[in-house]
């Protein structure tokens, strides 16, 4: 058994989803380099409360699927905001 921060995985999945469909989310101009992606992820995770879950290896995805839809939508918008903030003030 282990403790995982489900928020970290949800943020990572949302970031991947946004970057795959940047036009749909209106962020087609943001930088997609690794540094900016990680900066946006760190910024999002610092703003949102962690959601720790206890699970077996791999089971964390089952637990994430049980999280409510509103939680996922809120996280998506937080990632979008972070991407725009990083884009306005990149570390490179
Ligand atoms: Zn960049």
How far CA 68 is from CA of 5, 49, 50, in Å, comes to 16, 15, 15
What integer pLDDT is reported at residue 55 of this predicted model?
86
Query: pLDDT tens digit string along 26-77?
Result: 999 999 999 999 999 999 999 999 989 888 877 877 888 888 888 889 999 9
What integer pLDDT is reported at residue 19 of this predicted model?
96
CA of 74 to the centre of ligand 1 (A): 24
pLDDT band with cut points at 50, 70 and 90 for residue 20: very high
CA of 8 to the centre of ligand 1 (A): 20
Helix (H) or strand (E) holding 64: helix 60-65
């Amino acid at each position: 058994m282990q403790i995982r921060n489900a928020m970290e995985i949800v943020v990572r999945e949302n970031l991947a989803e946004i970057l795959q469909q940047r036009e749909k989310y209106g962020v087609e101009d943001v930088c997609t380099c690794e540094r900016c992606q990680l900066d946006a992820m760190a910024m999002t995770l610092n703003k949102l409360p962690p959601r720790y879950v206890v699970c077996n290896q791999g089971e964390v995805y089952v637990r994430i699927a049980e999280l409510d839809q509103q939680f996922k939508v809120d996280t998506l918008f937080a990632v979008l905001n972070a991407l725009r903030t990083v884009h306005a003030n990149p570390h490179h």
